[in-house]
Amino acid sequence: MTKFLFSLVFLMSISLSAQQLKSPSEFLGYELGSQFTRHHEVVDYYEYLAEAASDRVQLTVYGQTNERRPLILAYVSSAENLANLETIRQEHLKDTEGTGNSSKAIVWLSYNVHGNESVSTEASMKTIYELLTKKSSYLENTVVIMDPCINPDGRDRYSNWYNQYKNTPYQVDPNSKEHHEGWWSGRSNHYMFDLNRDWAWLTQVESQQRLKMFNQWLPHIHVDFHEQGVNNPYYFAPAAEPYHEVITDFQRDFQVTLGRNHAKYFDANGWFYFTKEVFDLLYPSYGDTYPIYNGSIGMTYEQGGSGRAGLGVITAIGDTLTLKDRIAHHFTTGLSTVEVSSQNAEKLNEEFRKFHQNKEFKYQSYVLKGDKDKLDALKSLLDKHNIEYGDLASGSYRGHNYGTGSSGSLSINKNGMVVSTDQPKGTLVKVLFEPSAKLSDSLTYDITAWSLPYAYGLDAVASTSSVSVQNVQETMPSSNISNGSYAYITDWNSMDDARFLAALLKEGIRVRKADHPFTIEGKSFERGTLIITKGDNENKEGFISTLQTIATKFQKDITPTTTGFVDSGKDFGSSSIQMITKPKIAVLSGGPTSTLRFGEIWHFFEQQLQYPLTVIGDDYANRVNLNEYNILVLPGGRYGNHFNEGELSKLKDWVRQGGKIIAMGGSIDALDGEKGFGIEKKKMEKDSGDNKPQPYKDWERERIKGAITGAIFKTKVDNSNPLAYGYGPDYFSLKLGSSAFNYLDSGNAVYLEQNSKPFSGFAGTEAQKRISETLVFGVENYGRGQVIYMVDNPLFRGFWENGKLFFANALFMVD
Ligand SMILES: [Zn+2]
């Protein structure tokens, strides 16, 4: 009897606490799905749960966005598990080294990485509530880690915009303004970066802070919730080909297991869905692939909707898609994921251990050498990924040589390093470093090449044997800056050098550049070398101490000289040692520019170079007096003939008088032609060869013959051109399309020769012909000014480190 009473009280207390826990609708004061919930309200609800169910929900603030919104994670599990959370985590991580004995499933659910795919944060609230109430049995052997919003700045940008424009009641007619978000959409983060392309490159604060947490857990399962076009049925795993070859059979199979369970619920409700199409698993910087390369089952789930859908919209077949429908679908797959994981906890743990024990890769070591600044840039990325590396003092190493694309050797006498696959992050090392990823299919969603030695501009060999680390004494750079010197000299070949120069110019220090190589006091210097003379800065108060401070901050090696009389080359008073103009920069935004391309430039200036820019809106650009600026940057986009004749002639006058245009990607289309500048689109004569009609079913295969889906090409560099100072004779460019321009009459700084084949990644046969003998980067002198053409995009997603100096050269060296 006592026992019965006890259990009755126990049961009552459970149902009471469940009853007491407020659902999202109860907490928010409106029915979930009838409004968009602002981010701070979402945080409030999670905080409420962490208090009301404190034994089963723990909340962590893991960072802050650019616009100061908090980034949060909720750990959700049984009371017993949560009390042992740290032990569970440590036991799980030991599995990466084969020493753990973990039994819990770890499931990580990430919502709303694309800010205007705004259903998912709403769905997260319903999901966590359900896990804490009706589905709490799943949590007995499962820890669920929920990130309710990866991209709060983008989400609030969307929801605030929607609230401004929405009709009351909401209008389902797709023509209504509430379904047309406009240029500054909520998809990306503050800097207009796509956070679902940033997992491997970690250029953005959201990714950097999140990855620290992710690496503390390395979950078994990771789901990235998205939305796609309004008319698409739901998409869930299994994913489409191509799959990267490192993906294990279990990772493939478990996607099917999960997909079948989701399908069961969708079938019962009569909901449409598709699998195995469109969303492939290759490019390593996604929320599905990156976790996969770290041993998770990583997946993308896509609801139909996005920024077009609002609270409700009519679809192409005449149905109404509401926010409530969208919530129901993401809620269903989220719970189904936790259910399957809970049922398979043992298997997930076993396979996770296996994944981390298998390091049977063709290449065991990647040996790299290069300029210290470039090695440091790579090391800083590897640190963020918890990838281990070591130094190499000297030696000769054989393997696949990245520079030639065939086997050869690399000798190192200083500045060498090695990254091995024999480490917990070995699979990720292979994916990021291997010369080229194996493609099971060339129809892919994204770029097909990203190999880090190319991206960081390092000489490298991939070795089939294991190379061991040597200890190297780090020599600190000497910046011996004292009052007595005539001038201070420093080299120019990295982004660190560009940051150093930008800092000097901001402080009002005058800097000259060498347009010819020279030797002074027995030391040789290349083109682009920076020369800071006492004479130029005599009136600058605190010149020496400011220079000293900045040199120390950027760890610059500075050579002081007591004379301006060179052993060979031009003396420092020569007219070829010119003063660098402190640029005043305007960047076009809106209208024809792409938000992503604009964002890369914005982020480059503020967060990478730390140099100010003025952002000009296309809607009032006509009324801006360009004479207030000496550089105008035109980001890539869809320009067509965006500038009319009057606007073009205004631009030409400004350049003639000394202005400088940096025209990137699609903006070049707006400058060519009869009324424009000297650049010409390459014309292709019709292919005479294969003229057979192609069957309709092959159209997609036919189409990709003309495509380049992000491939790496070896290009020629004229490094006597100021646009290419600091580079060697070759440059590996990431080509993102087959847009092609003829060589300029002069000023071809970087170009493709005949019959260029990709070193890494896919390029269709037609596309290869198209880009043969075309311009990559060039300078057209026009009056007293210049137009700089960047056909390829060195700032793409902020990760092609070795291209950034071209952009810095365009700002500071070309004149
Ligand atoms: Zn998305």
DSSP 324-380: HHHHHHHHHHHHHHHHHHHHTHHHHHHHHHHHHH----S--EEEEE--HHHHHHHHH
Query: Residue 46 belongs to what H/E stretch?
Result: helix 39-52
What was the pLDDT predicted at 11? 46
Distances (CA, A) of 65 to 200, 216, 582: 18, 20, 31
Ligand 1 center to residue 235 CA distance, Å? 12
| Strands laid side by side in the 487-490 sheet | 559-561, 487-490, 530-533, 512-514, 577-579
Helices (H), 218-301: 249-269, 289-292
What was the pLDDT predicted at 702? 76
Contact, 168 vs 177, CB < 8 A? no
Q: Taking the chain (815 residues) in consecutive chunks of 10 residues, what is each chunk's mean pLDDT?
A: 46 52 98 98 98 98 98 98 98 93 96 98 98 98 98 98 97 98 96 98 98 98 97 95 94 97 98 93 96 98 97 97 98 98 98 91 97 96 97 94 96 94 96 91 82 98 93 72 88 97 98 97 96 96 94 93 95 94 97 98 98 98 96 97 93 97 97 92 72 72 83 97 98 95 97 94 92 98 98 98 98 97
Distances (CA, A) of 314 to 179, 236, 804: 11, 23, 45
| Strands laid side by side in the 459-463 sheet | 390-392, 416-420, 365-369, 459-463, 395-401, 407-412
**Burial (CB count within 10 angstroms: exposed 0-12, middle 13-18, buried 19+), residue 173:** exposed
Q: Cα(331)–Cα(497) distance, rounded to whole angstroms?
A: 50
Ligand 1 center to residue 108 CA distance, Å? 17
Q: Cα(102)–Cα(44) distance, rounded to whole angstroms?
A: 33
Contacts of 15 (CB under 8 A, 6+ apart): none
What was the pLDDT predicted at 532? 97
Ligand 1 center to residue 120 CA distance, Å? 10
Q: Cα(57)–Cα(74) distance, rounded to whole angstroms?
A: 6
Ligand 1 center to residue 113 CA distance, Å? 7
- Which residue shows structure tokens 């770290």? 294
Ligand 1 center to residue 600 CA distance, Å? 19
**Burial (CB count within 10 angstroms: exposed 0-12, middle 13-18, buried 19+), residue 517:** middle
Residue 383's SS3 state is: helix
Q: Residue 161: which of 307, 41, 304 has the closest Cα?
A: 307
Tokens encoding 188:
């990306």
DSSP-assigned states of every residue in 478-537: PB---TT-SEEEE---SHHHHHHHHHHHHTT---EEESS-EEETTEEE-TT-EEEETGGG
Ligand 1 center to residue 709 CA distance, Å? 19
Helices (H) and strands (E) in the chain, counts: 22, 34
Report the sign of the C-alpha dihedral through residues 524, 530, 534, 536, in that order.
Answer: positive
Ligand 1 center to residue 189 CA distance, Å? 12
Q: Cα(752)–Cα(750) distance, rounded to whole angstroms?
A: 7
Cis peptide before 242 (omega within 30 of 0): yes
Contacts of 51 (CB under 8 A, 6+ apart): none
Query: Residue 44 belongs to what H/E stretch?
Result: helix 39-52
What was the pLDDT predicted at 690? 59
Q: Cα(147)–Cα(111) distance, rounded to whole angstroms?
A: 6
Residue 268's SS3 state is: helix
Q: Cα(186)–Cα(165) distance, rounded to whole angstroms?
A: 14
What was the pLDDT predicted at 76? 98
Ligand 1 center to residue 225 CA distance, Å? 7
Pairing type for strands 365-369 and 730-735 reads unpaired
Ligand 1 center to residue 302 CA distance, Å? 7
Ligand 1 center to residue 265 CA distance, Å? 23
Ligand 1 center to residue 193 CA distance, Å? 12
Ligand 1 center to residue 297 CA distance, Å? 18
Pairing type for strands 631-634 and 585-589 reads parallel
Ligand 1 center to residue 153 CA distance, Å? 15
Ligand 1 center to residue 25 CA distance, Å? 25
Ligand 1 center to residue 274 CA distance, Å? 16
- CB atoms closer than 10 angstroms to residue 429: 28
Ligand 1 center to residue 328 CA distance, Å? 18
Contacts of 87 (CB under 8 A, 6+ apart): none
Model confidence pTM above 0.85: yes
- Which residue shows structure tokens 């795993």? 237
Ligand 1 center to residue 156 CA distance, Å? 16
What was the pLDDT predicted at 478? 67
Ligand 1 center to residue 114 CA distance, Å? 5
Q: Residue 724: which of 803, 635, 636 has the closest Cα?
A: 803
Ligand 1 center to residue 122 CA distance, Å? 15
What phi and psi, each to the nearest 5 degrees, are found at residue 152?
-60, -35
Tokens encoding 369:
């050498």
Tokens encoding 71:
């980034």
Ligand 1 center to residue 287 CA distance, Å? 10
* Residue 413 CA from chain centroid, whole number: 33
Ligand 1 center to residue 790 CA distance, Å? 29
* Residue 344 CA from chain centroid, whole number: 33
Find residue 775's DSSP bridge partners: 751
Ligand 1 center to residue 551 CA distance, Å? 43
What was the pLDDT predicted at 393? 83
What was the pLDDT predicted at 360? 87
Contact, 132 vs 21, CB < 8 A? yes
Which amino acid makes up residue 239? A
Ligand 1 center to residue 584 CA distance, Å? 36
Ligand 1 center to residue 304 CA distance, Å? 10
| Strands laid side by side in the 748-751 sheet | 614-617, 585-589, 631-634, 660-664, 785-790, 775-782, 748-751, 711-717, 730-735
Ligand 1 center to residue 158 CA distance, Å? 14
What is the separation, in whole angstroms, between the first and last Cα of the chain?
94
- Which residue shows structure tokens 């800071």? 532
Tokens encoding 126:
């319903």
Ligand 1 center to residue 747 CA distance, Å? 41
DSSP-assigned states of every residue in 697-708: GGHHHHHHTT-B
Ligand 1 center to residue 781 CA distance, Å? 42
Helices (H), 612-743: 645-656, 699-704
What was the pLDDT predicted at 365? 97
Ligand 1 center to residue 116 CA distance, Å? 8
Ligand 1 center to residue 227 CA distance, Å? 5
Contacts of 507 (CB under 8 A, 6+ apart): 546, 550
Ligand 1 center to residue 397 CA distance, Å? 43
DSSP 450: -
Ligand 1 center to residue 322 CA distance, Å? 18
What was the pLDDT predicted at 17? 52
**Burial (CB count within 10 angstroms: exposed 0-12, middle 13-18, buried 19+), residue 622:** exposed
Cis peptide before 233 (omega within 30 of 0): no
Ligand 1 center to residue 228 CA distance, Å? 7
Which amino acid makes up residue 501? L
Ligand 1 center to residue 373 CA distance, Å? 35
Q: Cα(709)–Cα(760) distance, rounded to whole angstroms?
A: 11
Ligand 1 center to residue 229 CA distance, Å? 10
Ligand 1 center to residue 138 CA distance, Å? 28
Ligand 1 center to residue 224 CA distance, Å? 8
Query: Residue 113 belongs to what H/E stretch?
Result: none
Q: Cα(815)–Cα(805) distance, rounded to whole angstroms?
A: 16
- CB atoms closer than 10 angstroms to residue 327: 23
Ligand 1 center to residue 118 CA distance, Å? 10
Q: Residue 377: which of 478, 294, 459, 452 has the closest Cα?
A: 452
Residue 731's SS3 state is: strand
Ligand 1 center to residue 384 CA distance, Å? 24
Ligand 1 center to residue 348 CA distance, Å? 27
Tokens encoding 515:
């347009």
What was the pLDDT predicted at 479? 65
- Which residue shows structure tokens 């060179």? 566
